[in-house]
Amino acid sequence: MKHMKVIGPVLKRIPRLPNVKQQAIKLSENAIRKTEKVNQFFLEVGAFTLFFWLTFKATFSRDFEFREFLRQCYLVGNKTLPLITITGLVIGLVLTIQSRPILAEFGALSMLPNMVTLSIVKEMGPVVTALICAGKIGSGMGAELGSMKVTEQIDAMEVSSTNPIRFLVVPRVLAATFMIPILVLYADAFGIMGSWLGANIKGDVNFVLFTTQAFSSLGFSDLFPAIIKTFFFGAAIGFVGCFKGFTAGRGTRSVGIAANESVVMASMFVILIDLVAAQITDML
């Protein structure tokens, strides 16, 4: 009895082994959750591929909505123009202010216009502009089409024998595809202007001399790949925004989810396309 009094409290402190049935239930629940996530991923990939094929097919149809395309081009350019202007100026200013002390230490201050221009034209201008458009244009398209999905306007178009992809998706995707390269060139121009303003903060540089030095080593091989990849940026942003809005749920909360997912997915596509374009350009 004395030994039991001593051993009893010790035994109570030893942790009990979990029940085998409970472990099996937890393992099966985790397996079901992982399987559901994998199935959801492949379902979304399948829906994305099907939506891409339907959009590609509707793009080359006879009844092209040209007026809607022009209206979307105006909306895409008008909504983002002030933001792109400020962003271009800030990019040029920041690159010039940060690069000037380093180049001054090596006595290569004359290379500042050329270096900043190459950085803006080849990488900073296209990528930053595309990311801004992904946040502004992609979220707008996702929210707009998502609200139309929630209010059953897309279903009403299908009932009235109107192809919603041809009327809603194709003009938006093409507008983003053709307008974002123009916005990138616009941002590049203001980036160079911002670089000139940054160079004049601690010096006095003539604008004609600055632009001459800036474009002295900028060739067609630098400008052409940078412009070509912006078309893919625009197509990805427009398509992802329309896809997320078109496949939104039925509740009002799904509109915000569609807009948020449009920004995230479009930004990811922009970065991946830029990576692929950089690899192709390096091989050429």
Q: CA torsion sign, 56 to 60 to 63 to 68?
A: positive
Q: Which two tokens stand for residue 231?
A: 């078309």
Q: Which pLDDT does position 231 carry in this prediction?
A: 94
pLDDT of residue 266: 92
Tens of pLDDT, residues 213-268: 888 877 787 788 889 999 999 999 999 999 988 888 777 788 888 888 889 999 99
- Burial label for 284, CB within 10 Å (0-12, 13-18, 19+), is exposed
Listed in sequence order, the residues at least 6 apart from 183 whose beta carbon sits closer than 8 Å to its beta carbon are: 77, 80, 81, 84, 129, 133
| Prediction pTM value | 0.82
Q: Is 70 exceeded by the pLDDT of residue 13?
A: no
Average pLDDT, the chain: 82
- The pLDDT confidence band at residue 177, using thresholds 50, 70 and 90, is very high
Burial 151-180 (b: 16+ CB within 10 A, else e): eeebeebeeeeebbbbebbbbbbbbbbbbb
Segment 61-88, tens digit of pLDDT: 777 788 888 999 998 888 788 889 999 9
